[in-house]
Amino acid sequence: DETPALSGVDAPPRSCLETMENYGLGSYGALSPIPDLARQLMVRLEPYYSPAHREREEHEAEVALYVVLKSLEAYASPAEVAEMLVVPSSATERLGKAYGIMMRHRDELAGLAETIGRELAECGEECTDLW
């Protein structure tokens, strides 16, 4: 006896990325590299910071960290963001933690793309539920 197909019922997600809007890709950093966005933001913020503050070694890293956090807000959990902001002692260390989260996201996206690609290859032309 064949089990009837469950029409209209979505399969469980293969990855937590499938439950996120746009697979956790936020719109903030999607179209421009983070260094470009950070440079643009530094220009816009210049009137609000003194020359002495802007000349600090950490200033560029702090601005870049803001850009990174904005780009990760659709993916990283609030607990990860809080840990990233509280635990490390410098903006450079915080950027390192953020980079780790970004790499994890990239790896998860690559794994999900590989899984879906394999499913499409197995399914062939009859496959309609993966789109």
**Residue 10 pLDDT level (bands cut at 50, 70, 90):** low
If residue 91 lies in a helix (H) or strand (E), which one and from where to where? helix 91-123
**Coil, helix or strand at residue 46:** helix
pTM of the full structure: 0.74
CA distance 2 to 25: 40
For the stretch 32-75, pLDDT in tens is: 888 999 999 999 999 999 999 999 989 999 999 999 999 998 89
Q: What is the rounded distance in angstroms from the CA atom of residue 20 to the CA atom of residue 104? A: 15
- The angle at the Cα of 71, spanning 55 to 77, to the nearest 5 degrees, equals 115
